[in-house]
Structure formats: C-alpha cells, structure tokens
Amino acid sequence: MADAVRTVLRGAKVFDGSGAPVRTADVCFEGDRIVSVEEGSAEAGAAQRFDLADCCILPGLFQSHFHSGFGHFGSGTQAPMLGLEAPTALLAMLAVHNAGTALDAGVTSLIGSSNPDYLDVNLREAILHGYAEGPRIWAGSHELTASGAQEDGENRSWFMRLGNHGVVWKLDGADAFRRATREELGRGCDVIKVALGPGHGASPAEERCNLTDAELEAVVETAHDRGRFVRAHAPSKRAILASVRIGVDIIDHADRIDAECIDAVVASGAAVCPTGLWNKRFLEFAENWDTASQGPMPIGDGFPETPDETARRIRGVRADYEHSVEMLPELVRAGIPLLAGDDFGTPLLPHGDYVAELETYVKDFGIEASEVLLFATRNPARTMRCGDSLGQVAAGFQADLLVVEGDPSNDIGALRRVRAVIQSGRVVRGAL
Ligand SMILES: [Zn+2]
C-alpha cells in the first residue's frame, strides 16, 4: 500500500509529459495520486519534504514492446524457436528478474509483446500477490502467425514436431485466428500479437502480408469487442497498410513506412513502435562478421545460406534501416504517436539497456530528446487509453515518478542516473 503521507518534492525540474517544456516546480503526492505540480505548491499539511534541486522528475517510463521471457541462455541449448530455451519455471523466474530490471531503470509500465506460456499474465498476477516486484503490465499474447511464416519454428525443424509450443501459435483461416484470440483473451492477455511478414530482425522486409484480411479482421474484431488491443509485427508496406485498414492498435517496426502509409496511419490513429535499437545493434554485429574466417553468420532465418546470400541479406537490412532513419522524423512531424520499446533480452540487447534505445532516436534518427521522452510517457499511456491517469506528472494522475540527476530533455543519457523510482506513491528503487 502507498503511504498516505503527503510528500513534496521541491525545486526539481519537471518534465511533465504533456508536451510542455521542462519547468521548475514542486511535485506533491499523497497515497498513490499526484496532488499538485506548482511553483511553491501545497506545502501545507506536507509531512515529508525533499529538496531535489539538482534533479528532474518525469512520469514513470513505459516499455511498450516487452518480451518478459527473453534472456540470454549462454550455456543453454540452441532452441529451434524462442520460448523453448528452458523449462517454463526457469523462464518465469527470468520474467520476474526482467520485471525487476525494468523497475531499476524507472520503467513502471510494460506493454507486452509476445511471450510463451502466459508468462506476462502470470507475472502480473505474481506482482499483484506480492510474490514479485515489477511494473504494471498489459499482458502480451503468444505470437499468432500463419503456418510456413518466418516465425514458424517447424519450417526447418519440422521433424521435431514442435506444434504450438514456445512463443509462436501458428494458425490458418479466420475461424482458427478468432478462436485463438478468444482463448488468449480468456486466459488473461490484454494485447494480441500477430506476425504479418518477414523483415526487421535478421532479414529485410518482403512485400507480403502473411495473414489474409479475413484472418486479421477476425483477430481485431474479437479483441476490440472485448476492449483489448492488437499489435502487429509489420515491417513491409503491405503489412502496415493491412494493419491500418483493419484497425490494429500498435504497428511494430514499420521499417518500410512511406508517405502513403503515414497518411493511412494518421487517419487510423494507430501508434508505431519502431524498435530502432535492434537494427542498429544487429548491423554492427553482422557487418563486422567475417564468414571467411568466422564461418556462417550465426543470426539467420534457420536455413543454411551461401556467403553471397548472407551478404545480400545484410545489405537488405541496412537498406531498411537507412530508410527508417530517414522516415522516423517524418512520423513525428505527422503527429503519429511513437512508442519506445525493443526486443530486449535478445543476445545483442540485454534487458536493462533501455536508455540506449532512446539515445538512438536522438543521436541516429535526429529527433529532439524532449520528443523522444514522450515515446516512453504520454504516447503509450494514450495508446492504452490511460492518458488521463498515466504518463504525465499532473494533479490527479497516478504517482508513478522517475527522479533522475540532470535534465534528460537536454541530455537523454541523464536517464541512466536514476535517483529514485516511485510507483503508485511508493519509493520502490533508490531513495529521495
Ligand atoms: Zn519483439
């Protein structure tokens, strides 16, 4: 329970998440709610005062593309598909660890992407029971995909007869997608993830969409009918346009987005989660890999390839990345809500390295730090229809606050200097 003592944080810079510039103000909260944000505010009745003149107070951050069960199993077995690296019990403990790591970084809200065995749902329940500490969670589903799609772990490993184990649930036909969506929602998922086609990750986008319109419509109708959300792995233009046409809420990656897509996304009101750090890290790794001396590139699509094919694949990923670097500022100018979050937990992106993604949007994509901070605060809160209670430092909002040393609206790297993390009015990390 939050302490019902009225607390005032005095003299800090405040990035309030409304889009307004940083200002100096006192933030007063009581219980789990913010009471006021004003210059020289409601000191009356405040039992606790903390002077934070060298700090900045922000809304607790969102990670909007979170894989709770991703981690690096250095000495483990080579899994044919994600979610099968280790027994579920071990993955669940990893998920608890990842949730704690997120809290360390000031992340107080998570929007799940895909995960195996309902890890997100159970993680949320463990936190509710007090068995674990972690952010509030919108639980992601399995990754719903079509047979033979890139995510289908049985493409290369068909002889293992994996079926629907691991992170992927493969389906065919609108009825199958509708039934799977109903089951995922019934088991507690909030965000249904669908995989619409190749691209992002380790290979360039291909202009196709793995689901038919009828299949995707079945998912979106079912989820929306129950007040839940749909997110789509959509690297290609065709997948982006299908997503907005049918009403997907969060478009992941969107590597091939162009002017036509931007207009369509704006009209639909969807958010885009670009996950820009993965591409950068993957290209740093892949372009420095020498197949002649080091052997085949270890991150691929599961099938063996010649050195020429590998080189072509990497060039394709580079082209998609350069395109997205060019386009992202256009998305911001068009007013599309962008969300921060990436494939943390994959080998090149350890959980906890969340600030690096935000730094990439500033340094490599050329977007103002004050705008990038909205990717992790106001934008995701609005996308999840909680824009009136989360994602801003304002009277009446949830007292989810991040206190850092310095001013991240000028120097985004200041987010690494966490002084304290407050969740629902309780200091859960650091000290004031
Ligand atoms: Zn992902």
CA of 362 to the centre of ligand 1 (A): 21
Q: How far apart are CA 364 and CA 406, in angstroms?
A: 22
CA of 81 to the centre of ligand 1 (A): 13
> Which tens digits make up the pLDDT trace of 301-336?
778 899 999 999 999 999 999 999 999 999 999 999
What are the tokens at 250?
């969060």
Is the pLDDT at 96 greater than 90? The verdict is: yes
Residues 178 and 208: beta-carbon distance below 8 Å: no
Same domain, yes or no: 371 and 359: yes
- 174-186 vs 213-225: helix crossing angle, rounded to 10: 30
Same domain, yes or no: 144 and 82: yes
CA of 279 to the centre of ligand 1 (A): 12
Same domain, yes or no: 51 and 151: no
Q: How far apart are CA 369 and CA 358, in angstroms?
A: 8
Residues with CB under 5 Å of ion ligand 1 are: 113, 343
CA of 252 to the centre of ligand 1 (A): 8
CA of 232 to the centre of ligand 1 (A): 10
Does residue 318 fall inside a structural domain? Answer: yes
CA of 65 to the centre of ligand 1 (A): 6
Same domain, yes or no: 130 and 14: no
Residues 123 and 95: beta-carbon distance below 8 Å: yes
Per-residue pLDDT band for 3 (boundaries 50, 70, 90) equals low
pTM: 0.96
CA of 179 to the centre of ligand 1 (A): 23
Going by their DSSP bridges, the two strands 401-405 and 55-59 should be labelled as antiparallel
CA of 9 to the centre of ligand 1 (A): 37
Same domain, yes or no: 365 and 345: yes
Edge-to-edge strand list for the sheet holding 107-112: 61-66, 107-112, 136-138
> Which tens digits make up the pLDDT trace of 235-283?
999 999 999 999 999 999 999 999 999 999 999 999 999 999 999 999 9
Interacting residues of 407 by C-beta distance below 8 A, sequence separation 6+: 13, 15, 22, 56, 414
Is the pLDDT at 9 greater than 80? The verdict is: yes
CA of 275 to the centre of ligand 1 (A): 8
Same domain, yes or no: 41 and 172: no
Higher pLDDT, 368 or 160: 368
Is the pLDDT at 160 greater than 90? The verdict is: no
Lowest-confidence segment of 59-63, 100-104, 120-124, 298-302 by average pLDDT = 298-302
Residue 326: domain span: 61-383
Per-residue pLDDT band for 427 (boundaries 50, 70, 90) equals very high
Is the pLDDT at 71 greater than 70? The verdict is: yes
Q: How far apart are CA 387 and CA 335, in angstroms?
A: 16
**pLDDT for the residue numbered 75:** 53
CA of 342 to the centre of ligand 1 (A): 6
Per-residue pLDDT band for 47 (boundaries 50, 70, 90) equals confident
Does residue 231 fall inside a structural domain? Answer: yes
**pLDDT for the residue numbered 69:** 94
CA of 404 to the centre of ligand 1 (A): 28
Interacting residues of 203 by C-beta distance below 8 A, sequence separation 6+: 150, 300, 301, 313, 316, 317
- % of the chain surpassing 70 pLDDT: 96
Can you give the CATH number for the domain in which 418 is found?
2.30.40.10
CA of 268 to the centre of ligand 1 (A): 22
Per-residue pLDDT band for 161 (boundaries 50, 70, 90) equals confident
Same domain, yes or no: 202 and 329: yes
Q: Report how many domains make up the chain.
A: 2
What are the tokens at 287?
């372009």
CA of 149 to the centre of ligand 1 (A): 15
**pLDDT for the residue numbered 41:** 60
Same domain, yes or no: 179 and 80: yes
Same domain, yes or no: 275 and 404: no
Same domain, yes or no: 293 and 416: no
Can you give the CATH number for the domain in which 270 is found?
3.20.20.140
> Which tens digits make up the pLDDT trace of 215-238?
999 999 999 999 999 999 999 999
**pLDDT for the residue numbered 201:** 82
**pLDDT for the residue numbered 162:** 86
